[in-house]
Amino acid sequence: MAKYLLARYIWEVSTIYRARRITLKELNEMWCDSPYYDGKDIPRRTFDYHRKEIEMLFQVNIVCDKHDNTYRIEDDSAFRNGEVRRWLLNNFSMTNAIREARDLEDCISIEPIPSAEPYLSVVLQALREHKVLRMTYQSFERDTPSAYELMPYAVKLFHLRWYVIGMTTDRDGVLIFSLDRIHSLAITGQKYKYPKSFNVHDYYRDSFGIIIENGIQCERVRLKVMNNQAKYFRSLPLHTSQKEIETTPSYSVFEYRLKPTYDFEQVILSHREDVEVLEPLALRNNIMQSIRKMIELYHNKD
């Protein structure tokens, strides 16, 4: 019953968000066509209860404008800009949509995701309680695992992998660990002081991906993108700073303010001949060197 109610709450939030404004009558008309419809309309008293539960679960306040009896999300901009809130709601909605389509299982293909469980919940608990983690971890560069005592600062999802960002008790500098490479993880009784100066959004504001490379400065980057790929760039920007500064029938130019790290170079190369680096020159040269090495690799028949 609890899972069913959660699905209803998600459906109600999603429906109101898409409609912007909606009356209870209009909501009930759409409710009749939903996969959760139980043959009964949503009474106003029941919906008022749902609104309170939704606010508690998702921090989304649904308010009623008395002059026209329409419902809307009170702080629409906060809802759009709330990265974690939006991600949770989208994932809940997608999970429920797939659950309701169990009869179409043979028609749904989902990309496999490296497992972050049960480690994600342990990391989040340690974050909440400001407790040190004892971890055994094996990176792809090492043949054997290593032991760490980690003070977690944040978690980040990138390219279907969860990462924990923090500092170890025996060295300076922020380190990043992929949760799917952890061998063992446990919360210790040792407390640590969370640094007030650290903010994960500020930490990654000028970066793309997960790797933060020392010595790389934030600068202006311009990419020339062929028209067949420009639409994808518009629908899913590479970075929050993305701006389209030139549009032609055959190509568009996108501008960014970021640190051109290894992760960013990788995504440029993934678009092959459809993306050209215009500036900075150093990034253009790095991409050109990578292309030359690939050409040499394919020319080497031995």
- Identify the pLDDT of residue 184: 92
Could you say which of 77, 106, 135 is where a domain stops? 106
Q: What are phi and psi of 154, to 5 degrees?
A: -170, 165
On whether residue 213 sits in a domain, the answer given is no
pLDDT in tens, 279-288: 999 999 999 9
On whether residue 95 sits in a domain, the answer given is yes
For residues 196 and 126, membership in a common domain is answered with yes
Averaged confidence pLDDT in the chain: 86
On whether residue 209 sits in a domain, the answer given is no
For residues 231 and 193, membership in a common domain is answered with no
On whether residue 210 sits in a domain, the answer given is no
pLDDT in tens, 207-255: 888 888 878 899 999 999 999 899 999 988 999 899 999 999 999 999 9
Q: What mean pLDDT comes out for the span 261-281?
A: 94
On whether residue 114 sits in a domain, the answer given is no
For residues 150 and 227, membership in a common domain is answered with no
- % of the chain residues with pLDDT over 90: 47
For residues 72 and 142, membership in a common domain is answered with no
On whether residue 79 sits in a domain, the answer given is yes
- Identify the pLDDT of residue 92: 64
Count of domains forming the chain: 3
For residues 6 and 100, membership in a common domain is answered with yes
Q: What are phi and psi of 160, to 5 degrees?
A: 70, 10
Quote the tokens at residue 101.
């389509």
Give whichever of 37-41, 56-60, 227-231 has the largest mean pLDDT. 227-231
- Identify the pLDDT of residue 223: 97
Quote the tokens at residue 34.
């939903």
- Identify the pLDDT of residue 89: 65
For residues 7 and 82, membership in a common domain is answered with yes
256: containing domain: 219-299
pLDDT in tens, 81-129: 556 666 666 666 666 666 666 666 677 666 666 666 678 888 988 998 9
For residues 193 and 285, membership in a common domain is answered with no
For residues 123 and 146, membership in a common domain is answered with yes
Q: What is the CATH number of the domain that holds 273?
A: 3.30.70
The C-alpha atoms of residue 157 and residue 204 are separated, in whole angstroms, by 12
Answer yes or no: are the C-beta atoms of 225 and 254 closer than 8 Å.
yes
| Distance in angstroms between the alpha carbons of the first and the last residue of the chain | 64
Could you say which of 106, 131, 156 is where a domain stops? 106
Measuring CA to CA, which residue among 91, 14, 96, 88 is closest to residue 58?
88
For residues 159 and 90, membership in a common domain is answered with no
For residues 29 and 72, membership in a common domain is answered with yes
Q: What mean pLDDT comes out for the span 10-26?
A: 86
Tell me 181's DSSP state: G
On whether residue 134 sits in a domain, the answer given is yes
Measuring CA to CA, which residue among 251, 261, 257 is closest to residue 210?
261
Could you say which of 106, 137, 162 is where a domain stops? 106
Q: What is the CATH number of the domain that holds 154?
A: 2.30.30
On whether residue 28 sits in a domain, the answer given is yes
Grade residue 15 by pLDDT with cuts at 50, 70 and 90. confident
Q: Is the model's pLDDT at 268 over the cut of 90?
A: yes
**HSE (CB half, 13 Å, CA atoms) of 77?**
0
- Identify the pLDDT of residue 1: 44
- Identify the pLDDT of residue 53: 84
For residues 195 and 235, membership in a common domain is answered with no
For residues 237 and 185, membership in a common domain is answered with no
Measuring CA to CA, which residue among 206, 200, 204, 202 is closest to residue 221?
206
pLDDT in tens, 173-190: 899 999 989 999 999 999
